Amino acid sequence: MKYIYYPGCSLKSTGRPYEESLLAVFKELQIPMEELHDWNCCGATSYMSVDELKAFGLAARNLALAESQNGINGNGDPDVHIVAPCSACYLVLIKTERYLKEYKNERKAVIKGLKTIGLDYNGKAVIRHPVDVLFNDIGLESIAKHIKKPLKGIKVASYYGCQMIRPFELFDPVHYPVTLDLLVDKLGATPLDWPLKTRCCGGSLTGTLHEAGMRLNYRLLSEAKKRGADMIITTCPLCQFNLECYQDRISSYTGKKIEMPILYFTQLVGLALGIPEKKLGIHRSFIRFPNFQALEMEV
Amino acid sequence: MTFSFLRTRKWKYQKPSRIEQDKTVRRRIKYESELDIGFREKIAKMAWGERLDSCMQCGTCSATCPVSHYMDYTPRRIIDMVRQGFKEEVLNSFTLWVCASCYSCTVECPRGIKITDVMYALKREAIKQGFHPKRFLIPMLASKFYKQVLRHGRQNEGRLILSLYLSANPLLLLRNSKLAFRLWRRGRMKLFEKGIRNKASIRKLLSSIERREEEPVQ
Ligand code: SF4
Ligand code: SF4
């Protein structure tokens, strides 16, 4: 089975390190994956705010494309797995799938629309998050076999964010998710237990309602710092951006110096697998973890 | 240490009702005849709004909401006001635009109401009926996003924010220029990016869905 990779717009710009590290890690673990040809924007939260049916139609185009790319048009091979690393895309695609399943009339309208551009949708595509794939399909044990540099002595706070685990409980409990912590533990680092794992980072509020967004991020960062985290790992390009890029501003607002490296979880996995920093896009982060070089030396 | 940004600011938004504009003595309650009774049904018919009626006003949603202290009506009140038909107040409310779609309320609601989806439904209504204040960033972002995707099939964060700030408040550009530069230096920001190959297909798809929306789908 080949996974179909749906990058989404963020992974092509601000989230570039995520894409680089994700592809590198999947390659290292020999997980076959190819990019969805000619994918379009999933519509994110903004599209949903403008027009419901169109938002779902837009996202459904990707699902239909994925099905045709896997060559199942019509004869029902259930193995279309779309990997959507951005949490917002992930949720939008899942919601679209459910919407088309639950609302029959709207489904008809969307499918008719898709037919006008020569696509068909059967409802076979399954949407997966890379955390889900690594944890459930590949398994921690087989990841452990590939580890070259255990990340000893780093305290990692896993930040799950909102849309990967809410509102649907797909692979992790909504109130106390654990997958990332187990993964961190397997990589040799120390997972940090903290209460704000799934607290909102504000999403696009940091751009539109600046103060509110800054406040939410300040809470996350200061809590992680208070508990002695060396870094925070995220699963979503928007969370990573919010937590990382506004740190200097938050420091100047509050008068407290906050310097917390924010990595994508794939970057952390990549480091443990011994993939060079450059390939993981770590040189693109604003705040660097001081000991990465030391980790490299350890081998 | 100054926590200036932690204080709630007075936001510039349209007052909930125009009734209060003149200073004469006014009643503050609405009569039955002034309420929009069909409003509840309209919202309940949109995606995942069905369970609206079962709300028991427990307030769990407001309690879990990470931004409820920035709202003028808490999510609990919004739900009830929708049910009672306070259309103007709801659609004028700042709450809709503060909601960050974090789904905390949706997973906690003991009655299984999909509050986040109700908020989406209300946002759509407010945009459609022109209820949001001018030059207010959040709905502007939504419609800019909408247009960009319609044109290119994908969106480009750099250009989206640039055009948003340009038309809303160019001062914001100044404030964020350093951030933009830092992103660009690290190869994380591009202003030009090609969209999808088959751009016409997006327009065709969306316009065909639009046409069908007018006439009821059987
Ligand atoms: S949590 Fe649910 S039942 Fe309770 S007030 Fe909110 S919407 Fe109503
Ligand atoms: S989805 Fe919106 S209303 Fe609900 S808790 Fe999150 S921010 Fe509050």
Task: Please give, rounded to a whole number of angstroms, the shortest distance from the CA of B23 to a CA of chain A.
Answer: 31
Task: Please give, rounded to a whole number of angstroms, the shortest distance from the CA of B24 to a CA of chain A.
Answer: 34
Can you give the pLDDT at residue A293?
A: 54
Average pLDDT value for residue range A90-119? 89
**CA–CA separation, A89 and A44 (whole Å):** 6
Q: Ligand 1 pocket test: which of B65, B73, B84, B109 has the largest number of ligand atoms within 8 Å of its C-beta?
A: B109
Whether residue B143 lies within 8 A of chain A, CB to CB, comes out as yes
Q: For tokens 């030059």, what's the residue?
A: B135
Q: According to CATH, what is the number of the domain B31-128?
A: 1.10.1060.10
Ordered mean pLDDT values, 10 residues apiece, chain B (218 residues): 45 51 65 83 86 92 92 93 90 88 93 92 86 71 77 75 74 76 76 70 77 46
Can you give the pLDDT at residue B128?
A: 83
Q: Do A208 and B141 touch (CB under 8 A)?
A: yes
- Helix extents (H) in B51-198: 60-64, 75-84, 87-92, 95-98, 104-108, 115-128, 137-152, 157-168, 170-185
pLDDT in tens, B104-128: 999 999 999 999 999 989 988 888 8
Can you give the pLDDT at residue A217?
A: 93
**CA–CA separation, B14 and A172 (whole Å):** 41
Closest residue CA from atom 2 of ligand 2: B99
Can you give the pLDDT at residue B217?
A: 42
| Other Cβ atoms within 10 Å of B46 Cβ, number | 18
Q: Collapse the DSSP code of B12 into the 3-class scheme (helix H, G, I; strand E, B; otherwise coil) and give the result.
A: coil
Q: Do A54 and B104 touch (CB under 8 A)?
A: no
Can you give the pLDDT at residue B126?
A: 87
- Counting ligands in written order, the one closest to the CA of A205 is 2
CB pairs under 8 A between A and B: 191
pTM of structure = 0.86
Angle, CA B188 vertex, CA B185 and CA B193 arms, to 5°: 115
The mean pLDDT of chain A is 87
Domain boundaries, chain B: 31-128, 137-214
Q: Do B145 and A254 touch (CB under 8 A)?
A: no
Can you give the pLDDT at residue B6?
A: 45
**CA–CA separation, A193 and A174 (whole Å):** 16
Ligand 1: residues whose CB is within 6 Å? Answer: B 55-61, 76, 79, 109-111, 113, 115
pLDDT in tens, A180-236: 999 999 999 999 999 999 999 988 888 778 888 998 999 999 999 999 999 999 999
Closest residue CA from atom 8 of ligand 2: B65
A262: pLDDT strictly greater than 90: yes
Q: Do B149 and A47 touch (CB under 8 A)?
A: yes
In chain B, positions 16-45, which contact chain A (CB-CB < 8 Å)?
Answer: none
A131: pLDDT strictly greater than 70: yes
CA quadruple A253, A195, A259, A219: dihedral, nearest 10: -10
The domains found in chain A, sorted by start residue, are: 36-128 (1.20.1050.140), 147-297 (3.40.50.11810)
Task: Please give, rounded to a whole number of angstroms, the shortest distance from the CA of B25 to a CA of chain A.
Answer: 34
Can you give the pLDDT at residue B113?
A: 93
pLDDT in tens, A37-84: 888 888 876 667 777 888 888 899 999 988 888 754 445 456 788 999
Burial of B155 (0-12, 13-18, 19+ CB in 10 A): buried
Cα–Cα distances (Å) from B3 to A74, A185, B169, in that order, read 60, 37, 25
Average pLDDT value for residue range A144-148? 91
Ligand 1: centre distance to CA B139 (Å): 25
Token pair belonging to A164: 């990967």
**CA–CA separation, B161 and B147 (whole Å):** 13
Can you give the pLDDT at residue A282?
A: 87
Q: Give percent of chain A above pLDDT 70.
A: 93
Token pair belonging to A237: 């390009």
Number of H-type helices and E-type strands within chain B: 11, 0
Contact assessment for residue A44 and residue A289, using Cβ atoms and an 8 Å cutoff: no
Q: Do A162 and B101 touch (CB under 8 A)?
A: yes
Closest C-alpha to A17, from A257, A273, A244, A253? A244
Closest C-alpha to A91, from A252, A206, A225, A238? A238
